């Protein structure tokens, strides 16, 4: 059902006035994890000032180590929603457990399924039963075909409001956290009718190359860009090395919007 052969027209996912898949560049910006209201509110204000419509932030964090910050859970979603409402932003946040979906619905505009859960089939099915857009991230080592099949799990249950997100895959290369598979973008656009975003933060894991990666994403036809922003990345409880601070985010947005206007 996600195949372009079944439906030649592009799917457009509408959230808070953003029409993702319409040929323009859309943005999902915010901290890696929700840490406090003050932290999220500062980012929300900056994000809003640049015309971004979707605010991200992790509340249920799928961490590699059980000893790392696990997120604030439902309280994190409440904080995110409060800051988003103040600035008229939509909320994007990851859910890791189907049992959390129902209580999360009051706080979320887009349900994110993270890389580590791309093949959590029960979560995919539960997301497919929702009446909310799903932002599905590519698995850590998933092929494009496996990624498309994960989206098929969601649409097969009735929910076709899916945004695919390339976030880098595991390769032998160690210069970046993951390897951004930029060619996945046009392939996913050809093979499916779904909008495709690129997460430049988790794919590169390097603040110094977020901007060129975002430019490449736009040039190759991505419908949107995701990146992480924190008021003080040095003290962030997760992904400290790769989040932008607010001045860097402002410059990033100015340059990226400039490139987006050329395409
Ligand atoms: C995230 O976007 O917060 C995240 C954890 O990313 P990924 O699932 O792509 O690793
Ligand atoms: Mn992160």
Q: Where are the domains of the chain?
A: 13-260
Q: How far is residue 182's CA from residue 172's CA, in Å, rounded to a whole number?
A: 17
3-state secondary structure of 37: helix
- The mean pLDDT value for 136-146 works out to 98
ipTM score for this prediction: 0.99
Residue 168 Cα: closest atom of ligand 1: 9
Residue 165 Cα: closest atom of ligand 1: 9
Q: How far is residue 203's CA from residue 210's CA, in Å, rounded to a whole number?
A: 9
3-state secondary structure of 71: coil
- The mean pLDDT value for 247-256 works out to 98
202 CB within 6 A, ligand 1: yes
Given a cut of 90, whether residue 157 has pLDDT beyond it is yes
167 CB within 6 A, ligand 1: yes
Task: Record the tokens describing residue 200, joined without a space.
Answer: 């430049």
71 CB within 6 A, ligand 1: no
Q: Which residue has the tokens 């898949």?
A: 21
SS3 content of the chain, % helix, strand, coil (to 5): 40, 20, 45
pLDDT given at position 70: 96
pLDDT band at 263 (very low <50, low <70, confident <90, very high): confident
Q: Which residues pair with 224 in a beta bridge?
A: 26, 197
Q: What angle do CA 112, 232, 212 make, to 5 degrees?
A: 65
- Residue with CA closest to ligand 1 atom 10: 115
Domain 13-260: CATH superfamily, name plus number: Aldolase class I (3.20.20.70)
Count of Cβ atoms closer than 10 Å to residue 88 Cβ: 12
Ligand 2 midpoint to CA 239 (Å): 5
Q: How far is residue 217's CA from residue 125's CA, in Å, rounded to a whole number?
A: 29
Q: Which of 31, 167, 177 to mutate to test the pocket of ligand 1 (most atoms within 8 A of CB)?
A: 167
User: What is the rounded radius of gyration, in angstroms, for the C-alpha atoms of the chain?
Assistant: 17
Record the pTM.
Answer: 0.98
195 CB within 6 A, ligand 1: no
pLDDT given at position 258: 97
Q: How far is residue 183's CA from residue 65's CA, in Å, rounded to a whole number?
A: 31
115 CB within 6 A, ligand 1: yes
Mean pLDDT of all residues belonging to the chain: 98
Count of Cβ atoms closer than 10 Å to residue 161 Cβ: 22
């Amino acid at each position: 059902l996600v195949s372009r052969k079944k439906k030649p027209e592009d799917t457009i996912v509408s959230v808070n006035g953003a029409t993702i898949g319409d040929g323009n560049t859309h943005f999902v910006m915010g901290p890696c994890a929700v840490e406090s209201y003050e932290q999220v509110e500062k980012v929300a204000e900056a994000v809003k000032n640049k015309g971004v419509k979707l605010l991200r932030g992790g509340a249920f964090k799928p961490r590699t180590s059980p000893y790392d910050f696990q997120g604030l859970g439902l309280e994190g979603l409440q904080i995110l929603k409060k800051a988003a409402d103040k600035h008229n932003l939509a909320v994007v946040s990851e859910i890791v457990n189907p049992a959390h979906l129902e209580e999360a619905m009051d706080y979320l505009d887009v349900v994110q399924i993270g890389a580590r859960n791309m093949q959590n089939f029960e979560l995919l099915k539960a997301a497919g039963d929702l009446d909310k857009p799903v932002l599905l991230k590519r698995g850590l080592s998933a092929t494009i075909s496996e990624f498309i099949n994960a989206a098929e799990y969601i649409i097969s249950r009735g929910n076709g409001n899916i945004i695919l997100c390339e976030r880098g895959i595991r390769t032998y290369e160690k210069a970046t956290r993951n390897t951004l598979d930029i060619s996945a973008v046009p392939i996913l656009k050809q093979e499916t009718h779904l909008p495709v975003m690129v997460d430049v933060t988790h794919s590169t894991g390097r603040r110094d190359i977020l901007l060129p990666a975002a430019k490449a994403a736009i040039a190759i036809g991505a419908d949107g860009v995701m990146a992480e922003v924190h008021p003080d990345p040095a003290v962030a409880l997760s992904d400290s090395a790769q989040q932008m601070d607010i001045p860097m985010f402002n410059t990033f947005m100015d340059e990226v919007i400039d490139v987006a206007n050329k395409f």
